[in-house]
Copies of this chain bind each other. A is one copy, B any other.
C-alpha cells in the first residue's frame, strides 16, 4: 500500500524534529514536505536545523528543502508543530483547503468543535469533526493533541475515572526543559534551580483535563465535572515530565483495586493495533521509588505513561506519581497516533 503523504509544519523546532525522526520510517505515513519560518525557507533541512536528537537528522529528511507553511503542500496529513500564535492563523487555512491537520499546538484545543484527542482516552470525540466541517464549511479539519503534562495526568486517570468516578484532582508537575522548545529555558535559569512558573500551563491542565474526560452529547463536549488544581514547575531534566497527583473519587477504591484497574488498561480496541500504539498505555511500577523521568520516559518507545507510588492520601483518596515523555507521547508521537487513528477510521484516505 502506498504511504500517505504528510507534511510537518515548523519542522526545525523541538517537536518538529521529533515528528521528522518518528516519521522517517513510518509504515503509514511518508514525509513529503517540511516547512519552517520565512528566513529558513529554501535551506536544506539539515543545514537550517539545530538538531538536538542524537546524533543527526534521518538521511531521508536531511536533504529536503524547507518550504513555506502554505496550503499548497503535496500532502494529505499536516502535522503542525507551529507556535500557538502562528498555528492560530495557519491551521484553519490548511483545514479549509482539505488537509487533515493534526496539531500539537494549543491554538485550537479549546475550540468547541475541534476534538482534542488521546486515542486511549476519548477516540469518540472524533465525532466533532463532522460538526466542525459542517459549521465551518471545510473539506479538511483540525484535530488537536493535549498539553504534554495533561497527557501525563489524564492517561492514568481515565480508567480510574471510568471505574470510580473522579471528583477532585490535585496535581504538581516537575517538567523537563524540552517542553519549552529550543532555545527555550536558559541554562542560567535552570542549572541548580527550579523555575516555579510556566506561564499559562496551569490553566491549560485544569481546562484540558475536564475536556478530555468530557462526554460528547449532540455534537457538544460536556466537560467532566471534576475540580482540578494544577501547579507547574520546570526542573533540570532534559526529557520527561513528572507529576505528583492526589485524587478524590465518587466511589473510593482500595489501593489494590486502583492498581488493578491501572494495570489492566489497554485502551479501546479501535486503537490497539495502530502502529504507534503501546502494548501497555499505562505501566504500573511497583518499586517504591518509581517512576522517575530518566528511567521511565522511554518506556514503550516513549508512548506509555508510567505510574507508581499509589498510596492513600490523608486529604483526598489516593496519591500517585506519574511520568510521561513530553515530546513523544506528550507531543509528536501523540499527534502521530492521532493521525494513525484518523487513517484507521477513514477520516484520512
Which A residues have a C-beta under 8 Å from some C-beta of B?
14, 51-52, 54-56, 168, 170, 172, 174, 177-178, 182-197, 199, 206, 227-229, 231, 233, 235-238, 242, 244, 246, 283, 288-299, 306, 308-309, 313-316, 319, 321
- Are the C-beta atoms of B315 and A227 separated by less than 8 Å? yes
Instruction: Give Cα distance in the complex from A242 to B317, angstroms.
Output: 25
- Are the C-beta atoms of B54 and A298 separated by less than 8 Å? yes
- Are the C-beta atoms of A231 and B206 separated by less than 8 Å? no
Of B52, B174, B206, B298, the residue contacting A235 (CB under 8 A) is: B174
- Are the C-beta atoms of B191 and A236 separated by less than 8 Å? yes
Q: Give every chain B residue within 8 A of A51 (Cβ-Cβ).
A: 295
Q: Give every chain B residue within 8 A of A174 (Cβ-Cβ).
A: 174, 194, 233, 235
12 intermolecular pairs with C-beta atoms under 8 Å apart: A174-B174, A174-B235, A183-B188, A183-B189, A186-B186, A192-B294, A193-B237, A193-B294, A197-B289, A228-B314, A231-B319, A233-B244
- Are the C-beta atoms of A313 and B229 separated by less than 8 Å? yes
Q: Give every chain B residue within 8 A of A316 (Cβ-Cβ).
A: 229
- Are the C-beta atoms of A177 and B187 separated by less than 8 Å? yes
- Are the C-beta atoms of A188 and B314 separated by less than 8 Å? no
Instruction: Give Cα distance in the complex from A308 to B187, angstroms.
Output: 22
- Indicate whether A296 sits within 8 Å of B52 (C-beta atoms), given known contacts A172-B231, A244-B233: no
Q: Give every chain B residue within 8 A of A190 (Cβ-Cβ).
A: 187, 191
Instruction: Give Cα distance in the complex from A228 to B313, angstroms.
Output: 9
Chain B, residue nearest A321 (CB): B196
Instruction: Give Cα distance in the complex from A238 to B194, angstroms.
Output: 11
Q: Give every chain B residue within 8 A of A177 (Cβ-Cβ).
A: 187-188, 191
- Are the C-beta atoms of A193 and B55 separated by less than 8 Å? no
Q: Give every chain B residue within 8 A of A236 (Cβ-Cβ).
A: 187, 191-192, 235-237
